[in-house]
Structure 1
Protein backbone atom coordinates (compact mmCIF):
# COMPACT_ATOMS: atom_id res chain seq x y z
CA UNK A 1 0.00 0.00 0.00
CA UNK A 2 1.37 3.44 -0.97
CA UNK A 3 2.15 6.14 1.57
CA UNK A 4 -0.74 8.19 0.12
CA UNK A 5 -3.20 5.34 0.66
CA UNK A 6 -1.86 4.81 4.17
CA UNK A 7 -2.46 8.46 5.04
CA UNK A 8 -6.00 8.36 3.66
CA UNK A 9 -6.80 5.14 5.54
CA UNK A 10 -5.19 6.46 8.72
CA UNK A 11 -7.32 9.62 8.58
CA UNK A 12 -10.48 7.67 7.90
CA UNK A 13 -9.91 5.19 10.75
CA UNK A 14 -8.92 7.78 13.37
CA UNK A 15 -11.81 10.13 12.62
CA UNK A 16 -14.31 7.28 12.56
CA UNK A 17 -12.95 5.91 15.85
CA UNK A 18 -13.31 9.35 17.43
CA UNK A 19 -16.89 9.68 16.17
CA UNK A 20 -17.94 6.21 17.38
CA UNK A 21 -16.40 6.81 20.81
CA UNK A 22 -17.91 10.30 21.07
CA UNK A 23 -14.56 12.09 21.17
CA UNK A 24 -16.18 14.04 18.34
CA UNK A 25 -19.73 14.64 19.56
CA UNK A 26 -22.88 14.35 17.44
CA UNK A 27 -23.40 17.62 15.57
CA UNK A 28 -19.87 18.89 16.33
CA UNK A 29 -18.15 21.10 13.75
CA UNK A 30 -14.93 19.60 12.39
CA UNK A 31 -12.44 22.00 10.86
CA UNK A 32 -10.62 20.34 7.98
CA UNK A 33 -7.42 22.34 8.48
CA UNK A 34 -7.21 21.37 12.16
CA UNK A 35 -7.89 17.72 11.37
CA UNK A 36 -5.12 17.70 8.75
CA UNK A 37 -2.71 19.36 11.16
CA UNK A 38 -3.48 17.09 14.13
CA UNK A 39 -3.23 13.92 12.03
CA UNK A 40 -0.26 15.22 10.00
CA UNK A 41 -2.06 14.52 6.75
CA UNK A 42 -2.15 16.75 3.68
CA UNK A 43 -5.33 18.18 2.19
CA UNK A 44 -6.01 15.64 -0.58
CA UNK A 45 -5.95 12.37 1.44
CA UNK A 46 -7.88 14.13 4.22
CA UNK A 47 -10.61 15.22 1.80
CA UNK A 48 -10.89 11.71 0.36
CA UNK A 49 -11.14 10.25 3.87
CA UNK A 50 -13.89 12.75 4.75
CA UNK A 51 -15.75 11.95 1.53
CA UNK A 52 -15.74 8.25 2.46
CA UNK A 53 -16.92 9.10 5.98
CA UNK A 54 -19.79 11.09 4.49
CA UNK A 55 -20.74 8.18 2.20
CA UNK A 56 -20.92 5.90 5.26
CA UNK A 57 -23.05 8.32 7.29
CA UNK A 58 -20.46 9.52 9.82
CA UNK A 59 -20.25 13.17 8.79
CA UNK A 60 -22.28 15.70 6.84
CA UNK A 61 -20.40 18.03 4.50
CA UNK A 62 -22.14 21.27 3.57
CA UNK A 63 -20.70 23.53 0.84
CA UNK A 64 -19.52 26.87 2.29
CA UNK A 65 -20.64 25.76 5.77
CA UNK A 66 -18.23 22.99 6.68
CA UNK A 67 -18.09 19.47 8.10
CA UNK A 68 -20.28 18.30 10.96
CA UNK A 69 -20.43 14.99 12.82
CA UNK A 70 -23.69 13.24 11.95
CA UNK A 71 -26.32 13.61 14.65
CA UNK A 72 -27.84 10.72 16.56
CA UNK A 73 -31.52 11.26 15.89
CA UNK A 74 -34.76 9.33 15.47
CA UNK A 75 -34.10 8.61 11.80
CA UNK A 76 -30.65 7.17 12.46
CA UNK A 77 -31.83 4.95 15.32
CA UNK A 78 -34.80 3.63 13.33
CA UNK A 79 -32.68 2.99 10.24
CA UNK A 80 -29.95 1.19 12.19
CA UNK A 81 -32.34 -1.05 14.10
CA UNK A 82 -34.55 -1.86 11.11
CA UNK A 83 -31.40 -2.93 9.28
CA UNK A 84 -30.18 -4.93 12.28
CA UNK A 85 -33.49 -6.79 12.62
CA UNK A 86 -33.37 -7.77 8.97
CA UNK A 87 -29.69 -8.74 8.83
CA UNK A 88 -29.30 -10.45 12.23
CA UNK A 89 -32.44 -12.55 11.95
CA UNK A 90 -31.54 -13.52 8.39
CA UNK A 91 -28.07 -14.50 9.60
CA UNK A 92 -29.53 -16.51 12.47
CA UNK A 93 -31.27 -18.74 9.91
CA UNK A 94 -27.81 -19.72 8.63
CA UNK A 95 -26.49 -20.75 12.04
CA UNK A 96 -28.43 -23.98 12.61
CA UNK A 97 -25.94 -26.62 13.65
CA UNK A 98 -22.99 -24.31 13.04
CA UNK A 99 -22.72 -22.25 16.20
CA UNK A 100 -19.73 -23.21 18.35
CA UNK A 101 -21.19 -24.56 21.60
CA UNK A 102 -18.07 -23.77 23.62
CA UNK A 103 -18.25 -20.14 22.49
CA UNK A 104 -21.94 -19.97 23.40
CA UNK A 105 -21.30 -21.47 26.84
CA UNK A 106 -18.49 -18.96 27.44
CA UNK A 107 -20.73 -16.06 26.43
CA UNK A 108 -23.47 -17.37 28.70
CA UNK A 109 -21.02 -17.38 31.62
CA UNK A 110 -19.95 -13.82 30.81
CA UNK A 111 -23.56 -12.61 30.78
CA UNK A 112 -24.33 -14.50 34.00
CA UNK A 113 -21.36 -12.86 35.76
CA UNK A 114 -22.43 -9.33 34.77
CA UNK A 115 -23.41 -6.90 37.49
CA UNK A 116 -25.76 -3.94 37.12
CA UNK A 117 -22.87 -1.63 37.98
CA UNK A 118 -20.91 -2.38 34.80
CA UNK A 119 -22.88 -1.22 31.72
CA UNK A 120 -19.69 -0.86 29.68
CA UNK A 121 -18.88 -4.55 30.16
CA UNK A 122 -22.42 -5.42 29.05
CA UNK A 123 -21.89 -3.54 25.79
CA UNK A 124 -18.57 -5.33 25.15
CA UNK A 125 -20.14 -8.78 25.65
CA UNK A 126 -23.26 -7.72 23.74
CA UNK A 127 -21.07 -6.73 20.76
CA UNK A 128 -19.24 -10.06 20.98
CA UNK A 129 -22.51 -11.99 20.89
CA UNK A 130 -24.15 -10.09 18.04
CA UNK A 131 -20.96 -10.04 15.96
CA UNK A 132 -20.77 -13.81 16.31
CA UNK A 133 -24.32 -14.10 14.92
CA UNK A 134 -23.62 -11.98 11.85
CA UNK A 135 -20.27 -13.65 11.19
CA UNK A 136 -22.09 -16.47 9.40
CA UNK A 137 -22.70 -14.39 6.29
CA UNK A 138 -20.54 -15.80 3.49
CA UNK A 139 -21.20 -12.77 1.30
CA UNK A 140 -18.72 -9.93 0.81
CA UNK A 141 -21.37 -7.26 0.21
CA UNK A 142 -23.56 -8.24 3.16
CA UNK A 143 -20.53 -8.41 5.47
CA UNK A 144 -19.41 -4.93 4.38
CA UNK A 145 -22.88 -3.46 4.93
CA UNK A 146 -23.23 -5.23 8.27
CA UNK A 147 -19.91 -3.89 9.61
CA UNK A 148 -21.07 -0.33 8.90
CA UNK A 149 -24.46 -0.93 10.56
CA UNK A 150 -22.92 -2.47 13.68
CA UNK A 151 -20.42 0.40 14.00
CA UNK A 152 -23.30 2.90 13.91
CA UNK A 153 -25.10 0.76 16.50
CA UNK A 154 -22.01 0.94 18.70
CA UNK A 155 -22.05 4.75 18.59
CA UNK A 156 -25.72 4.77 19.59
CA UNK A 157 -24.87 2.49 22.53
CA UNK A 158 -21.93 4.68 23.56
CA UNK A 159 -24.28 7.69 23.48
CA UNK A 160 -26.53 6.02 26.06
CA UNK A 161 -23.88 4.34 28.20
CA UNK A 162 -24.04 6.69 31.19
CA UNK A 163 -27.86 6.66 31.18
CA UNK A 164 -28.45 2.91 31.42
CA UNK A 165 -30.61 2.04 34.42
CA UNK A 166 -30.31 -1.20 36.39
CA UNK A 167 -33.62 -2.58 35.10
CA UNK A 168 -32.44 -2.24 31.49
CA UNK A 169 -29.14 -3.97 32.21
CA UNK A 170 -30.87 -6.85 34.03
CA UNK A 171 -33.43 -7.28 31.23
CA UNK A 172 -30.73 -7.36 28.57
CA UNK A 173 -28.67 -9.84 30.60
CA UNK A 174 -31.69 -12.11 31.05
CA UNK A 175 -32.68 -11.98 27.37
CA UNK A 176 -29.20 -12.86 26.19
CA UNK A 177 -28.97 -15.85 28.51
CA UNK A 178 -32.36 -17.18 27.32
CA UNK A 179 -31.34 -16.55 23.70
CA UNK A 180 -28.10 -18.47 24.16
CA UNK A 181 -29.98 -21.39 25.74
CA UNK A 182 -32.30 -21.51 22.71
CA UNK A 183 -29.31 -21.54 20.38
CA UNK A 184 -27.61 -24.29 22.40
CA UNK A 185 -30.80 -26.34 22.03
CA UNK A 186 -30.92 -25.41 18.30
CA UNK A 187 -34.38 -23.90 18.68
CA UNK A 188 -33.66 -21.45 15.90
CA UNK A 189 -37.22 -20.26 15.23
CA UNK A 190 -37.76 -19.42 18.90
CA UNK A 191 -34.37 -17.72 18.98
CA UNK A 192 -35.33 -15.63 15.92
CA UNK A 193 -38.50 -14.43 17.65
CA UNK A 194 -36.68 -13.52 20.86
CA UNK A 195 -33.89 -11.77 18.95
CA UNK A 196 -36.48 -9.68 17.07
CA UNK A 197 -38.21 -8.73 20.34
CA UNK A 198 -34.84 -7.93 21.95
CA UNK A 199 -33.88 -5.57 19.11
CA UNK A 200 -37.34 -3.98 19.15
CA UNK A 201 -36.98 -3.23 22.86
CA UNK A 202 -33.52 -1.78 22.32
CA UNK A 203 -34.82 0.41 19.51
CA UNK A 204 -37.62 1.80 21.70
CA UNK A 205 -35.18 2.36 24.58
CA UNK A 206 -32.73 4.41 22.49
CA UNK A 207 -35.56 6.45 20.99
CA UNK A 208 -36.80 7.20 24.51
CA UNK A 209 -33.34 8.45 25.52
CA UNK A 210 -33.54 11.11 22.79
CA UNK A 211 -36.49 12.81 24.50
CA UNK A 212 -35.34 12.44 28.11
Structure 2
Protein backbone atom coordinates (compact mmCIF):
# COMPACT_ATOMS: atom_id res chain seq x y z
CA UNK A 1 0.00 0.00 0.00
CA UNK A 2 1.49 3.35 -1.03
CA UNK A 3 1.94 6.34 1.23
CA UNK A 4 -0.85 8.18 -0.57
CA UNK A 5 -3.25 5.56 0.77
CA UNK A 6 -2.14 5.64 4.38
CA UNK A 7 -2.70 9.21 5.52
CA UNK A 8 -4.66 9.91 8.69
CA UNK A 9 -7.41 11.56 6.68
CA UNK A 10 -8.21 8.40 4.71
CA UNK A 11 -7.47 5.47 7.02
CA UNK A 12 -9.92 4.66 9.82
CA UNK A 13 -12.11 1.94 11.27
CA UNK A 14 -15.29 2.25 9.22
CA UNK A 15 -17.21 -0.85 10.36
CA UNK A 16 -17.05 -3.96 12.55
CA UNK A 17 -18.33 -7.24 11.11
CA UNK A 18 -18.92 -10.19 13.42
CA UNK A 19 -18.82 -13.62 11.85
CA UNK A 20 -21.64 -15.73 13.27
CA UNK A 21 -23.22 -19.12 12.66
CA UNK A 22 -26.72 -17.71 12.07
CA UNK A 23 -27.19 -14.08 11.08
CA UNK A 24 -30.92 -14.15 11.85
CA UNK A 25 -30.41 -15.27 15.43
CA UNK A 26 -27.51 -12.86 15.90
CA UNK A 27 -29.51 -9.93 14.51
CA UNK A 28 -32.35 -10.63 16.96
CA UNK A 29 -29.88 -10.76 19.85
CA UNK A 30 -28.06 -7.55 18.97
CA UNK A 31 -31.31 -5.70 18.39
CA UNK A 32 -32.57 -6.74 21.83
CA UNK A 33 -29.20 -5.87 23.37
CA UNK A 34 -29.40 -2.43 21.78
CA UNK A 35 -26.17 -2.43 19.77
CA UNK A 36 -27.38 -3.58 16.34
CA UNK A 37 -26.46 -0.31 14.62
CA UNK A 38 -22.84 -0.64 15.74
CA UNK A 39 -22.05 -4.05 14.21
CA UNK A 40 -22.51 -5.85 10.93
CA UNK A 41 -23.09 -9.58 10.69
CA UNK A 42 -21.76 -12.20 8.31
CA UNK A 43 -22.41 -15.92 8.28
CA UNK A 44 -19.34 -18.07 8.87
CA UNK A 45 -18.53 -21.58 9.97
CA UNK A 46 -14.83 -20.91 10.53
CA UNK A 47 -13.59 -22.96 13.51
CA UNK A 48 -12.88 -20.95 16.64
CA UNK A 49 -12.37 -22.04 20.23
CA UNK A 50 -11.78 -20.13 23.44
CA UNK A 51 -10.82 -16.46 23.56
CA UNK A 52 -11.00 -14.86 20.13
CA UNK A 53 -8.56 -12.11 21.00
CA UNK A 54 -10.99 -9.20 21.10
CA UNK A 55 -13.89 -7.72 23.02
CA UNK A 56 -16.37 -4.95 22.41
CA UNK A 57 -16.96 -2.42 25.18
CA UNK A 58 -19.81 0.00 25.82
CA UNK A 59 -19.32 3.11 27.91
CA UNK A 60 -22.57 4.46 29.37
CA UNK A 61 -23.67 7.22 31.75
CA UNK A 62 -24.27 5.41 35.04
CA UNK A 63 -24.64 2.13 36.97
CA UNK A 64 -28.38 1.82 36.28
CA UNK A 65 -27.72 1.97 32.54
CA UNK A 66 -24.96 -0.63 32.86
CA UNK A 67 -27.43 -2.93 34.61
CA UNK A 68 -30.10 -2.26 31.97
CA UNK A 69 -27.82 -3.19 29.08
CA UNK A 70 -26.49 -6.29 30.80
CA UNK A 71 -30.03 -7.40 31.70
CA UNK A 72 -31.15 -6.91 28.11
CA UNK A 73 -28.23 -9.00 26.87
CA UNK A 74 -28.89 -11.83 29.33
CA UNK A 75 -32.60 -11.70 28.57
CA UNK A 76 -31.80 -12.17 24.89
CA UNK A 77 -29.56 -15.19 25.51
CA UNK A 78 -26.14 -13.90 26.63
CA UNK A 79 -24.15 -15.60 29.38
CA UNK A 80 -22.77 -13.60 32.29
CA UNK A 81 -18.97 -13.65 32.44
CA UNK A 82 -18.45 -11.04 35.14
CA UNK A 83 -21.44 -9.77 37.13
CA UNK A 84 -21.54 -5.97 37.35
CA UNK A 85 -19.60 -4.70 40.36
CA UNK A 86 -18.08 -1.50 41.72
CA UNK A 87 -14.36 -0.91 41.38
CA UNK A 88 -11.84 1.89 41.77
CA UNK A 89 -12.55 3.10 38.23
CA UNK A 90 -16.34 2.85 38.30
CA UNK A 91 -18.89 0.12 37.72
CA UNK A 92 -19.21 -2.58 35.08
CA UNK A 93 -19.57 -6.19 34.03
CA UNK A 94 -19.23 -8.44 31.00
CA UNK A 95 -21.27 -10.99 29.07
CA UNK A 96 -20.75 -13.40 26.19
CA UNK A 97 -23.19 -13.17 23.30
CA UNK A 98 -24.70 -16.39 21.91
CA UNK A 99 -22.32 -16.11 18.93
CA UNK A 100 -19.33 -16.11 21.31
CA UNK A 101 -18.43 -12.41 21.24
CA UNK A 102 -17.39 -10.93 24.59
CA UNK A 103 -19.03 -7.61 25.53
CA UNK A 104 -18.13 -5.32 28.43
CA UNK A 105 -20.49 -2.62 29.69
CA UNK A 106 -19.09 -0.01 32.07
CA UNK A 107 -19.31 3.50 33.45
CA UNK A 108 -16.83 5.70 35.30
CA UNK A 109 -19.69 7.08 37.43
CA UNK A 110 -19.99 5.66 40.94
CA UNK A 111 -23.61 6.84 41.38
CA UNK A 112 -26.59 7.46 39.15
CA UNK A 113 -27.68 11.01 38.45
CA UNK A 114 -30.87 9.92 36.69
CA UNK A 115 -32.85 6.88 35.56
CA UNK A 116 -31.45 4.17 33.29
CA UNK A 117 -31.40 4.94 29.58
CA UNK A 118 -30.59 3.07 26.39
CA UNK A 119 -27.99 5.65 25.40
CA UNK A 120 -24.41 4.61 24.61
CA UNK A 121 -21.62 7.16 25.03
CA UNK A 122 -18.89 5.14 23.28
CA UNK A 123 -18.37 1.77 21.63
CA UNK A 124 -14.78 0.55 21.67
CA UNK A 125 -13.33 -2.45 19.86
CA UNK A 126 -10.54 -3.81 22.07
CA UNK A 127 -7.98 -5.91 20.21
CA UNK A 128 -5.84 -8.19 22.35
CA UNK A 129 -2.33 -8.13 20.89
CA UNK A 130 1.02 -9.60 21.82
CA UNK A 131 2.97 -6.34 21.57
CA UNK A 132 1.01 -3.12 22.01
CA UNK A 133 3.90 -0.84 21.02
CA UNK A 134 4.70 -2.73 17.83
CA UNK A 135 1.06 -2.99 16.77
CA UNK A 136 0.51 0.68 17.59
CA UNK A 137 3.39 1.60 15.27
CA UNK A 138 1.92 -0.65 12.58
CA UNK A 139 -1.39 1.21 12.71
CA UNK A 140 0.24 4.63 12.95
CA UNK A 141 2.18 3.69 9.83
CA UNK A 142 -1.14 3.10 8.09
CA UNK A 143 -2.41 6.51 9.09
CA UNK A 144 -4.38 6.00 12.30
CA UNK A 145 -4.03 8.75 14.88
CA UNK A 146 -3.27 7.90 18.52
CA UNK A 147 -5.75 9.53 20.91
CA UNK A 148 -4.48 8.03 24.17
CA UNK A 149 -1.57 5.75 24.99
CA UNK A 150 -0.20 4.16 28.15
CA UNK A 151 3.14 2.71 27.13
CA UNK A 152 2.96 -0.96 26.25
CA UNK A 153 -0.33 -1.53 28.07
CA UNK A 154 -3.04 0.32 26.14
CA UNK A 155 -3.51 2.49 23.07
CA UNK A 156 -6.71 4.12 21.80
CA UNK A 157 -6.97 5.59 18.32
CA UNK A 158 -9.03 8.59 17.28
CA UNK A 159 -12.29 7.56 15.57
CA UNK A 160 -12.69 8.29 11.89
CA UNK A 161 -15.95 10.16 12.46
CA UNK A 162 -18.22 11.19 15.31
CA UNK A 163 -20.15 8.28 16.78
CA UNK A 164 -17.97 5.64 15.10
CA UNK A 165 -16.67 2.57 16.91
CA UNK A 166 -13.29 3.39 18.43
CA UNK A 167 -10.30 1.10 18.03
CA UNK A 168 -8.04 0.28 20.97
CA UNK A 169 -5.17 -2.10 21.70
CA UNK A 170 -4.70 -4.11 24.89
CA UNK A 171 -2.20 -6.78 25.82
CA UNK A 172 -3.95 -10.04 24.95
CA UNK A 173 -3.52 -11.56 28.41
CA UNK A 174 -4.62 -8.36 30.13
CA UNK A 175 -7.73 -8.12 27.93
CA UNK A 176 -8.74 -11.70 28.69
CA UNK A 177 -8.37 -10.95 32.41
CA UNK A 178 -10.31 -7.69 32.09
CA UNK A 179 -13.21 -9.43 30.36
CA UNK A 180 -13.04 -12.49 32.61
CA UNK A 181 -12.17 -15.32 30.24
CA UNK A 182 -9.19 -17.71 29.92
CA UNK A 183 -6.54 -16.34 27.57
CA UNK A 184 -6.24 -19.50 25.45
CA UNK A 185 -7.95 -19.64 22.07
CA UNK A 186 -7.44 -21.09 18.63
CA UNK A 187 -8.82 -20.67 15.13
CA UNK A 188 -10.56 -17.71 13.58
CA UNK A 189 -10.93 -14.36 15.34
CA UNK A 190 -14.48 -14.32 13.87
CA UNK A 191 -14.27 -10.57 13.24
CA UNK A 192 -13.47 -8.43 10.21
CA UNK A 193 -12.67 -4.73 10.42
CA UNK A 194 -13.88 -2.41 7.69
CA UNK A 195 -11.13 -0.16 6.33
CA UNK A 196 -11.38 3.10 4.43
CA UNK A 197 -8.17 2.16 2.61
CA UNK A 198 -8.32 -1.41 1.35
CA UNK A 199 -7.51 -4.85 2.72
CA UNK A 200 -4.67 -5.94 4.99
CA UNK A 201 -3.94 -7.96 8.14
CA UNK A 202 -2.29 -6.65 11.29
CA UNK A 203 0.59 -8.37 13.15
CA UNK A 204 -1.87 -10.43 15.24
CA UNK A 205 -3.85 -11.65 12.26
CA UNK A 206 -6.87 -9.36 12.58
CA UNK A 207 -8.26 -8.94 9.07
CA UNK A 208 -9.22 -5.62 7.51
CA UNK A 209 -11.15 -5.28 4.27
CA UNK A 210 -12.52 -2.43 2.20
CA UNK A 211 -15.62 -1.20 4.03
CA UNK A 212 -19.00 -1.86 2.45
CA UNK A 213 -21.26 1.08 1.70
CA UNK A 214 -23.19 2.45 4.69
CA UNK A 215 -26.43 2.02 2.73
CA UNK A 216 -26.23 -1.71 3.39
CA UNK A 217 -27.05 -0.99 7.05
CA UNK A 218 -25.00 -1.73 10.18
CA UNK A 219 -26.36 -5.26 10.48
CA UNK A 220 -25.99 -6.14 6.81
CA UNK A 221 -25.86 -9.88 6.25
CA UNK A 222 -23.08 -10.08 3.70
Same-fold call, TM cutoff 0.5:
no
TM-score under structure 2 length normalisation? 0.23
Q: Which has the higher helix share?
A: 1
Rg (Cα) greater in structure: 1
TM value normalised by structure 1: 0.24
The one of the two structures with greater contact order (alpha-carbon pairs below 8 A, sep at least 6) is 2
